[in-house]
Structure 1
């Protein structure tokens, strides 16, 4: 076989050359980053979150890793608490079906999310950004067309945002350096806002006059001094009961219930009131019958 009949072999057919390393499929790598969690390398599950560097995570996996206090990989070493991630609000793709999860080539498969403004699929072919202030996701092309100033509002939810809130999702190395700077800017802004709140609270406390606070303390002390103990309470209750019994014995209504009580002898009753009874002197000498007893006074 070969080397006969005038055939001339080539050098690569006779000498073994060092094989080139296999190159990664760029399309497959890009799709993997947009469909899988950076932390667990599993498929993304809602709710989806992002870090300050623009990498995508399943929020549940980040929470579990933080609760278990396991060390983060190098790609997520900056995620130390829930403040370092932001939940996203992507727009679902109506063309995405269950078949797109398993079947079909990379060029024919649809992405699960799209840009709500211009309809571009979030598959990695087009640059997408997310706003840290509200979590809305849209394409960079749509944001550039709408953006008119440095500080504006979100075109989806109308929430205000600033230049450091724009995070590029799954960006290149240059984008990573820019996202790191923006992340430091947000941290500094958050610290300054906390200091402003603390200083405002201190100013409010100093603005209150000292005179209004002293009477409150004195009243509280006097109230504590006036609070009776259990022994004094029982003594007071016993005294009230005894006074009530004495007053009940002196009640004129109880006196009237006695058998020897007479209205004619009552000094507090008026003469008109006494004239209503037969014990009055005018009723004893009359000749007609009494209006109550109808006594005919028979002899």
Structure 2
């Protein structure tokens, strides 16, 4: 009686060679059959150099000496994939045999980030909010350094207290200037323009904002028309009211020093005490508190409540209504400091 024949079947594919999945059958295979023998049987007429190709199973590379039978990894009906190694000049990992051709193609397909276009970066300062990077839309404000902001985005950041550190000097809307922008009728990349010269907000021209009225005009308009009033609303302004928009490094530095100087003056005025007629406001002298001053300057006497005692009243008793009693007249009890002995 003939022994029953054994059949061992696996599936084979090679995307690198354009070979779709197909079945490979072995009738009564040799127990010593390896992947090397499988490779030779697949390409009997046009053999592929064994060193330039390798099999993988579930993405794991297998050596040519791996046994095809009696192998826990290669079970019947498993799908083996044949890959072609990439040979390079060195340093590209093509000779390691650990990566497939698809991995290399995906690795080299990753695009490097493009360099930032200086023109686009410059234009963004003139058409976008410096805080939210969204397109500028009314109402628009600027800070003391000439940066554009959408007022809505700025108020939201102030309320949520998440203002970026670079804008630490903005404490509220009092530090901002509301500006009036003239939209460009022609459209294009520049959304706004000068209402006098029609120069565009594209970073190529210098612009100033007027603190007095908020209109934004080009430097060319101020140069061609000498005037101490706004060319749009005719409101008077002084030279210090002009704030350069998105200025150069030197211009921003000058605005920065000017802003710090103004802040220092404001803080100093708050801390300093107001003086009127040689005496500090807040002392109980003068008619503000209904008290007549007994003297002026350094020679004036120290104010005493007893001096305001009504007629026919004892000054000591009247003064005790507003001042604490003498310490030597009282002794503290164990349970209460304010209750003198002998009164109960």
Q: Please, what TM-score do these two structures have when normalized by structure 2?
A: 0.44
Looking at CA atoms only, which structure, 1 or 2, has the larger radius of gyration? 1
Task: Report the structure, 1 or 2, having the larger helix content.
Answer: 1
Q: Please, what TM-score do these two structures have when normalized by structure 1?
A: 0.50
Task: Report the structure, 1 or 2, having the larger strand content.
Answer: 2
